[in-house]
Structure 1
Amino acid sequence: MISDINWWSDLTEWATKIVNNFEAMPEKDKFVILTGIVSVFISTSSALISLISYRQKGREGAYALRKQLSDTMQKILDLNMESAKRNNDPDKYPRNFGGLINDQRRFHARVALSLMGRIGPLVSRWEYQLAARAFADLSDLDTAKSMYLIATKSRSSPVEDATVLRGYGRFLFQSGEVDSARVAMEDAVAYLSESDNLAHERGFTYELWAEHELDFGYLEVSQKCFNLALREYSDDLWVHRGAKSVERLELSDMKRRIFPDQDPVSQMELF
Structure 2
Amino acid sequence: MDNPVTKRTPLVIAAEINMITFQTKKILLTSAIEIGCRLQEAKALVKHGEWGKWLEESVSYSQKTAERLIKLYEEYGPNFPDGSGRSKSTLVSILTYTQALLLLGLPEEEREEFIAQNDVSNMTKQELQHALKDRDQAKQEKDQALQEKDQAFQENQVLKKGLETINSTISQLKKEQANAPSRPTNPENIKAEASSAVRTALPTHNLKTERDLDAHIKYVEQCDACCKTIADTFFNLTTALTNLAHIDSELKEEKRKEASRLIEYMTETIKSWPPPRKPLRVNS
Q: TM above 0.5, one fold?
A: no
Comparing both chains, which one has the higher relative contact order based on Cα–Cα distances under 8 Å and sequence gaps of 6 or more? Answer: 2
The structure with the largest alpha-carbon Rg is: 2
Query: What range describes the TM-score normalised by the shorter chain of this pair?
Result: under 0.3
